[in-house]
Chain A
Amino acid sequence: MFSNFKKTTMVAKIIKRTLITTNSKQRIFKVQDQEDFNKHVLNSKEPVVIDFFATWCGPCKVLLPRLEKVIEEYNGEINLAKVDIDDNVDIAMDYGITVVPELIAMKNGKVQGKIIGLQDEDKLKTFVSKLVEAKTE
């Protein structure tokens, strides 16, 4: 909560973002702000799973690697947008986030499904596959 502490985390964020974009063609990325959200989530051509998380949330930390693994299996067919609810309060409020982690499945800017809380890999697979199937409809 120290101001310099915040600065370091911001720097870390920027570095992380660059690494992710170069390595995985933006399949998995962290949302920076509303503009970023509009551009890469709402207007995304691919379906997007939005992971609303908080840095202080233990279950969120457990969920993320499982989720990334499932998303990566889709080879770019589907994107994962990570939204830190403290950095993006308004986005979280707009989507009625109450408890984290919460996943929202989105296609063409429309919410296809939601799932709240820590999930096992099977549940995540089902959730993501439903979104992919929604694409072919």
Chain B
Amino acid sequence: MAPIVSSGQYDYDLLVIGGGSGGLACAKEATGFGKKVVVLDFVIPSERGTTWGIGGTCVNVGCIPKKLMHQAALLGESLHEARSYGWNVPNSISFNWESLVEAVQNHIKSVNWVTRVQLRDKNIEYVNGHGVFEDAHTVVAKMKNGKERRITAKDILIAVGGRPHYPDFPGCKEYCITSDDIFSLSTPPGNTLVIGAGYIGLECAGFLRGLGYEATVMVRSVILRGFDRDMVNLVQAEMEEKGVKFLIGKTPTKVSKQPNGKLLVEWLGNKVIEQGEFDTVLVATGRKALSKELNPLAAGLEVHPESGKFTVNAEQTNVPNIYAVGDVLHERPELTPVAIQAGKLLAARLYNGGKEHMDYDNVATTVFSPLEYGCVGLTEDEAINRFTEDKIEVYHAYYKPTEFFIPQKNVKNCYLKVITLLEAPQKVLGMHFIGPQAGEVIQGYAAALKSGLTFEHLKNTVGIHPTISEEFTRVGITKRSGEDPTPQSCCS
């Protein structure tokens, strides 16, 4: 490939701050349109000193390692179930945390490498430096060795994402770990307290329990805020049945280290201080955008006073040549595929006359709790708020996955829900599913929803038998009817 020359007075056409999913997607797309692009990526070590390579949160300390550890937990479950399917599984099966961490980290490193190769192949310059604004067209890259490099660009994309937020109580930063650290933890976590019940907290508690560790989730108020309440209650029930403990309505007040090396956690609940001893305390009380670290004022950038994030119009900030995608955006879903899509469309609009804008509605997602929860569209509460209870219909059903019968797995929490407008042809507003492989189930329905799925379509769709996804084509009981949504069974 011939060297690409920037088209104007600047060093580059596009400077991307942050080599995560969103930034890299936009950078790759922009070079495809003949633009000269540089990507800055730098990982500030976590409080515990953990760092990682290029690729951002998802690859290094998010979706990828989380899914792998979730899979490790599911395999443990399968090993036990295998006995009831005729496999002679020895009683002494055991799990090795260090082996899992090594395998997960090796996979991550291989992805880091592939990313570097892609950048080289696409002629994108990569700078391992922390980008700080000097003005609207100038960014200073601060390298690890103290060296600085001043880079100018016509357009700048902020894609720095976020990092775990540490709540403010004594001992928190000193003794607690976060999702930044858990996937590379060199020793087994042991009895773990997870503070926070968002999806990250629940997923971590879920896989740790599945791997055989004791896990407790401390919840200040609501579990999985923003998700459908009926579904959340079942996710919680399933986790409890698998041995995860929940401390609800408690706020941590102090963590200290005991002479025996264990962590003593104190919390406020019911107006009295309670305490417990744990080997590991993981805080997952939300994430904070890395906007301040950019020195946004120098470029004239405004950040939202509460979230500290950027409010954008078609990914454009208040400074016309500065754009933002991904987790730094105010009130946008913090999801890798959202950032990727927004980054790609932005590059197409900026450099290829594209007209398409990012549609942030109806983005499907999945919580990889022990029994997964996948959803797309509105929750029941959101649908009621938007259309009123009289104008919507909620179809629901409990179901029994065929493969659950033989090992007599718990089917009590396998449940799904379809929320539609009441008026024919009953446009589907939201779909919710709890069960194995929920992400795989819901992805296809997300495409259907995008295409204007109605309940009539769903009813006229022939299912694949025997699958769990076909349950969506069979659902017919409405909440309004008060009929029992539980299926017939032979025993139990």
Contacts and interface: CB of A to CB of B under 8 A. Distances in A.
A56 B49 contact: no
Interface stretch (A1-9, A17-25, A41-49, A64-72): A1-9
Contacts of B112: 86
B120 interface: yes
Where chain B touches its partner, the secondary structure class is: helix
Contact of B109 (A3, A4, A54, A98): A54
A57 B110 contact: yes
Contacts of A62: none
B50 A2 contact: yes
B106 interface: yes
B330 interface: no
Given A56-B105, A56-B106, A5 B113 contact: no
A34 to B, nearest CB: 15
B113 A1 contact: no
Interface in A73-129: 85-86, 89, 93, 97-98, 100
B455 interface: no
Contact of A1 (B50, B110, B116): B50
A58 B112 CA distance: 16
Given A93-B116, A98-B117, A3 B106 contact: no
A3 B52 contact: no
Contacts, number: 41
Contacts of A136: none
B176 to A, nearest CB: 16
B107 interface: yes
A85 to B, nearest CB: 7
Contacts of A4: 49, 186
A56 B52 contact: no
B116 A56 contact: no
Nearest to A5: B186
A3 B45 contact: yes
A89 B109 CA distance: 12
Nearest to A100: B113
A24 B293 CA distance: 51
A21 B488 CA distance: 74
Contacts of A57: 110
B71 interface: no
Contact of B113 (A2, A3, A54): A54
A56 B51 CA distance: 17
Given A54-B110, A56-B110, A57-B110, A1 B117 contact: no
A97 B113 CA distance: 10
B179 interface: no
B49 A86 contact: no
Contacts of A1: 50-52, 105, 184
A3 B110 contact: no
A5 B109 CA distance: 15
A57 B109 CA distance: 9
A54 B111 CA distance: 12
B124 to A, nearest CB: 12
B117 A3 contact: no
Contacts of B110: 54, 56-57
Interface string B40-62: 00000100111110000000000
B107 A2 contact: no
A2 B107 CA distance: 16
Given A5-B186, A98-B117, A86 B109 contact: yes
Contacts of B184: 1-2, 5
A85 B106 contact: no
B113 A86 contact: yes
A111 B106 CA distance: 30
A137 to B, nearest CB: 33
A93 B49 CA distance: 28
B429 to A, nearest CB: 43
Contact of B49 (A2, A54, A55, A85): A2
A98 B186 CA distance: 29
B224 to A, nearest CB: 29
A56 B107 contact: yes
Contact of A85 (B52, B113, B185, B186): B113
B49 A3 contact: yes
A56 B103 CA distance: 8
B109 A56 contact: yes
A47 B51 CA distance: 38
Interface string B115-129: 011001100000000
Given A1-B105, A54-B113, 12 more contacts: A2-B48, A2-B49, A2-B185, A3-B51, A4-B49, A54-B109, A56-B110, A86-B109, A86-B112, A89-B116, A93-B116, A93-B120
Interface of B: 45, 48-52, 105-107, 109-110, 112-113, 116-117, 120-121, 184-186
Question: A-B pairs with the 3 shortest C-beta distances?
Answer: A56-B106, A1-B184, A56-B109
